[in-house]
Amino acid sequence: MRPLLSLFVGLLLCSSLHAETPVQRPQHALVASAHPAATVAGLETLAAGGNAFDAAVAVAAALAVAEPYGSGLGGGGFFLLREAGTTPRYRFVDARERAPLKAHASMYATPGKAGQAPSLDGALAAAIPGLPAALAHLSQRYGKLALRDSLYPAQRLARDGIGIDALYRERVSWRLKAMQADPETARIFLSDNQAPAEHSLLRQPELASTLQRLADHGHAGFYSGRTADLLVRAVQAAGGIWTHKDLTDYRVIERQPLRAKLQDGRELITAPPPSAGGVALIQSLAMLQQLNWRKADTLTRDHLVIESLRRAYRDRGLLGDPDQVRNPLASLLAPAYLQQLARSIDRQKATPSSSLPPATAWHEGQHTTHFTVIDQAGNAVSATLSINLPFGAAFTAKGSGVLLNNEMDDFAKAVDEQNAYGLTGSQANLIAPGKRPLSSMTPSFVESAGELSSFGTPGGSRIPSMVLLGILEYLDGQPIERWATRPRFHHQYLPDVLEYEPATFSSQEKAGLLRLGHQLQSTNRRYGNLQVLRWNKQSGAVEGASDPRGLGRADTLALPPQ
């Protein structure tokens, strides 16, 4: 049996495993995103002559307007890029938010106002946004169109309005009290201080003006000038610690993706730190292959996935911002270590997390969005964006329309303190000036000489487990719709419980998992919003799927040969 991962994993700077000939082109371009309006914005940009990177700008900006609960100009994210060619090139654009320069490890030691968590609600919870810088960077360095052209669909949506749907109203219900506490947020995103009626219009004229300044002046149109003045003035007036230097100093960072050789000539290209998800994904896949998961019955297969996730999540507390802490990637991805992890899994019983050798746990946030794009040249983008909790910090900078993130809660406020999701802190992820918080966002490609597939989802700490389950469906030869619809379960080492969607397991399977020693806990709702695509390089066929748990849409576009 061939090992899933070769002896060389981690940052592969060597030549690609899957050189292709220039004649291999997709028959169609494709966009799959979490909102139909964003998918249309991407297709519109492709039809106007843009490439996948222009379309990614259009989709990300449109999501900022249409899904203010999931992403926005006040947030950040990760963009995994594939540049087409005889030997494809990959880039990872890190647009993760940064802690303000006045931030410090004990800044949340003093409680906030009654009923308010200062790392979750209000101006002090906001890190410096990265998404606007990413949009300008992608357009300038990789795009074919002017930034103003790629941003126009989002400006139009902000000006003319976007329909309120059931998902928007549900997200409001989760954060209503915090949103009511900020007059500007309540004015824009609520109606009479309550969730707007379904099918009413959300208009954001101030955000349209902010997008126009970004379109006209690129990076400087957000991080200096009028927009910066509005942001800093509002944050400081509300007790935050932003300065103009925080904004003018912000830059995206291009990093090398993590790459690992898979079985059958495939290669995984995934997110490096400050994402912890790529490491967990590589580790989990390595363990499962060594355990010959595809030969197992359904119950044993699920058990092996759970035990692999338990061990992979255990290691995530060792990771942090690579510009400020040393990430032990070579050790965590070493073949001998991965074999040791696999050998520690008992096929007949669950391993209590407390019995594993101790490791520092970690801290993570929650709400995100994801999209994926491919053009007819074979350029592709897999991007995951976030403002953390739904509607971020529930604080909008007056006059800008920019709803700010609460990503400061993704830092560890103390090594032994849990966040809102039961995840405890780590030394590597403590708050420091200018630092990027650890994230679970895991945009990923799997590529071979014959095909390219893309995976990604929102879902906070559950992101790596969802991406893993989608990739396992792909490796098992299942149709693309199954990658996105597959019932989900999750284990993150601590707390030592197996979370699962309703209807994931039959009564017989639940009984079997209990006999193996797993502690089961239903989420009582479905979660995640996986967006996937596949390009068959032999036939040229392109197909995509958008998770039916959300409102998203995957559509293709055929353009005449150029």
pLDDT tens profile 488-540:
999 999 999 999 999 999 999 999 999 999 999 999 999 999 999 999 999 99
Cα distance between residue 510 and residue 270, in whole Å: 32
Q: What mean pLDDT comes out for the span 308-330?
A: 94
**Token representation of residue 402:** 């920019």
Residue 68 contacts residue 189 (beta carbons within 8 Å): yes
Secondary structure class of 353 (helix, strand, coil): helix
Helices (H), 315-453: 329-332, 335-343
pLDDT band at 116 (very low <50, low <70, confident <90, very high): low
pLDDT band at 110 (very low <50, low <70, confident <90, very high): confident
Cα distance between residue 371 and residue 63, in whole Å: 9
465 assigned ligand-binding residue: no
pLDDT band at 17 (very low <50, low <70, confident <90, very high): low
Q: Rounded to the nearest 5°, which phi and psi values hold at 131?
A: -60, -45
Secondary structure class of 512 (helix, strand, coil): helix
| Residue found by looking up tokens 């002090």 in the block | 124
| Residue found by looking up tokens 């520690």 in the block | 344
Cα distance between residue 352 and residue 490, in whole Å: 15
Residue 282 contacts residue 333 (beta carbons within 8 Å): yes
Degrees, nearest 5: CA angle 104-107-109: 135
439 assigned ligand-binding residue: yes
323 assigned ligand-binding residue: no
107-121, 227-241, 367-381, 385-399: range with lowest mean pLDDT = 107-121
Sheet harboring 489-490: ordered strands across?
489-490, 498-500, 520-522
pLDDT of residue 241: 98
388 assigned ligand-binding residue: yes
Query: Mean pLDDT score of the chain, rounded to an integer?
Result: 92
Could you give the residue numbers annotated as active site? 368
pLDDT of residue 317: 83
CB count within 10 Å of CB 339 equals: 15
6 assigned ligand-binding residue: no
pLDDT band at 263 (very low <50, low <70, confident <90, very high): confident
pLDDT of residue 423: 41
Q: What mean pLDDT comes out for the span 135-151?
A: 98
Element (H, E) at 57: helix 52-66
- Over 80: is that where the pLDDT of 7 sits? no
Query: Per mean pLDDT, which of 201-215, 308-322, 546-560 is the most reliable?
Result: 201-215
Residue 526 contacts residue 549 (beta carbons within 8 Å): yes
Statement: the pTM of the whole predicted model exceeds 0.85: yes
175-179, 325-329, 409-413, 481-485: range with lowest mean pLDDT = 409-413
Residue 304 contacts residue 4 (beta carbons within 8 Å): no
pLDDT band at 24 (very low <50, low <70, confident <90, very high): confident
- Over 60: is that where the pLDDT of 45 sits? yes
Secondary structure class of 107 (helix, strand, coil): coil
- Over 70: is that where the pLDDT of 359 sits? no
pLDDT of residue 482: 98
Contacts 24+ apart (CB under 8 A), 537-541: 537/20, 537/24, 537/449, 537/450, 537/451, 537/452, 538/450, 539/27, 540/24, 540/25, 540/26, 540/27, 541/27
With a CB cutoff of 8 Å and minimum separation 6, the contacts of 84 are 377, 378, 379, 380
Query: Per mean pLDDT, which of 255-259, 366-370, 427-431 is the most reliable?
Result: 255-259
- Over 60: is that where the pLDDT of 22 sits? no
- Displacement of CA 465 from its chain's centroid (Å): 12
440 assigned ligand-binding residue: yes
Which of 395, 384, 64 lies closest to 235, judged by CA?
395
The neighbouring-strand residues paired with 79 are: 93, 383
CA 465, 313, 326, 416 torsion: positive or negative? positive
pLDDT band at 264 (very low <50, low <70, confident <90, very high): confident
Domain boundaries, the chain: 1-562
With a CB cutoff of 8 Å and minimum separation 6, the contacts of 113 are none
536 assigned ligand-binding residue: no
| Residue found by looking up tokens 């309120």 in the block | 164
Cα distance between residue 19 and residue 176, in whole Å: 51
Start-to-end CA span in the chain (Å): 45
Ramachandran assignment for 77, one of left (phi > 0), alpha (psi -120 to 50 degrees), beta (any other): left
- Over 90: is that where the pLDDT of 428 sits? no
pLDDT band at 225 (very low <50, low <70, confident <90, very high): very high
30-39, 123-132, 256-265: range with lowest mean pLDDT = 256-265
Cα distance between residue 45 and residue 371, in whole Å: 15
Secondary structure class of 101 (helix, strand, coil): coil
Helices (H), 161-297: 166-180, 183-189, 205-217, 220-223, 225-237, 244-249, 277-290
CB count within 10 Å of CB 89 equals: 10
**Token representation of residue 164:** 């309120």
- Over 80: is that where the pLDDT of 70 sits? yes
> Is the preceding peptide bond at 153 cis, omega within 30 degrees of 0?
no
Q: What mean pLDDT comes out for the span 220-224?
A: 98
- Over 50: is that where the pLDDT of 419 sits? no
